[in-house]
Amino acid sequence: MAERFYCGVDFGGTNIKAGVVRAADRMLLGQVSVETERQGGPEHVIGQIILAAGQAVAKAGLRMDQVAGIGIGSPGPLSHKRGEVYQTSNLPGWRCEPVAARVAEATGRPTTLENDGNAAAWGEFWAGAGRDVDSLVFLTLGTGIGGGVILEGRLVRGGRENGAELGHMIVQAGGRPCSCGQAGCLETYASAYKTAQRFVEALEAGEPSVLAGRHRAGLPITSKEIAEAVAGGDRLACRIWDETCYYLAVACVSIARVINPDRVLLAGGMIAAGERLLLSPVREKFAEQNWKLRCEGLVLEPEIAFASLGNNAGVIGAAGAVELAIEEGTLANAE
């Protein structure tokens, strides 16, 4: 039997990344990354997606007709069934764009569309830190917080296809306002960007920190500088970071109660802070808040761990979404 390959494209308001994954060992081949020219509008960006897919396939040493299909991970809200991106906050002017149909038409390959958080979660389940479990929840800590849910081996999209928006899970009723219109969403506290924003707010309110000079000099403060200050024992950095870990733990408790996955995977640049600074405190705060119903010798709580595919989770997962669509019987013209 001929080797099987899938093409994956992960696109957002900043970059379009494409790659080819070999089905047999889920190895990523032929990667391409270009800047999203979002001012060009949806037709232009869809053209860029088609181009990037073609370049990735060529870079992998293949012809387009040698890939079983193309998977696209996109910001939502969107419809997997219809292959349409309804709109996205980072790409102005997008309205019910038939992305999957356009890509399929231009490439001649069956194409499937998934929410980018779902695709990345699927990537970790298919080829990363979730390969050995049946159920996992994935949280990527970036500008916002993207999420995905795999339950008993199935990707959970939700009855209205827009579930698993874990960044907009409310962890503090009546809390900080979120760009989505709700208040107290997880991402308003615990995303990398919002952690930095909460820190800068406290600095500007006059709280002392080793990073005050940096801020006065107009230099950016990201979660990376804050993590370094935490490692150095800076009081303000420790307080803000501790809150981030607390809210992540709150989210993990709710996830454990609703989904009860085997594993909760944390991803995104912020996990560079490492086990001691990030994972351990989240696990500790989780244990403090978690239910006290215990059965001797039985593990009922999810393990909280780091994802393993880094920035490639989106592309690998989008490619894996082709295999998923074949298994689900939803990939048009699948061979």
Toward Zn ion, which CB reaches closer, 137 or 178? 178
Toward Zn ion, which CB reaches closer, 147 or 302? 147
In angstroms, rounded to a whole number, what is the distance separating the alpha carbons of residues 68 and 335?
7
Place of tokens 């800068």: 200
Residues in a beta bridge with 32 = 18
Toward Zn ion, which CB reaches closer, 115 or 135? 115
Toward Zn ion, which CB reaches closer, 168 or 283? 168
Toward Zn ion, which CB reaches closer, 178 or 252? 178
Q: How far is the CB of 250 from Zn ion (least distance, A)?
A: 15
Our finding on whether 251 is near Zn ion (CB under 5 A) is no
Toward Zn ion, which CB reaches closer, 127 or 250? 250
Of 277-306, which residues contact Zn ion (CB under 5 A)?
none
CA atoms in the 13 A half-sphere facing the CB of 313: 31
Our finding on whether 55 is near Zn ion (CB under 5 A) is no
* Per-residue x/- track, 115-154, Zn ion (CB under 5 A): ----------------------------------------
Sign of the CA dihedral running 238, 241, 243, 249: negative
> Pseudo-torsion of CA 84, 90, 92, 95, nearest 10°?
10
Our finding on whether 168 is near Zn ion (CB under 5 A) is yes
Our finding on whether 178 is near Zn ion (CB under 5 A) is yes
Query: DSSP code of 207?
Result: -
Of 179-238, which residues contact Zn ion (CB under 5 A)?
180, 182, 185
Name every residue whose Cβ is closer than 8 Å to that of residue 130 and which is 6 or more positions away in sequence: 121, 124, 136, 138, 150, 263, 265
Q: How far is the CB of 49 from Zn ion (least distance, A)?
A: 27
Q: How many residues bind Zn ion (CB under 5 A)?
A: 5
What phi and psi, each to the nearest 5 degrees, are found at residue 77? -70, 150
Stretch that binds Zn ion, among 33-41, 178-186, 272-280, 305-313 (CB under 5 A): 178-186
Q: How far is the CB of 180 from Zn ion (least distance, A)?
A: 3
What the block records as the tokens of 275 is 């086990």
Rounded to 5°, the CA angle 156-287-290 comes to: 60
Toward Zn ion, which CB reaches closer, 5 or 138? 138
Is-contact 8 71, C-beta < 8 A?
A: yes
Our finding on whether 170 is near Zn ion (CB under 5 A) is no
Residue 30 CA to its chain's centroid (Å): 21
Residues that bind Zn ion (CB under 5 A): 168, 178, 180, 182, 185
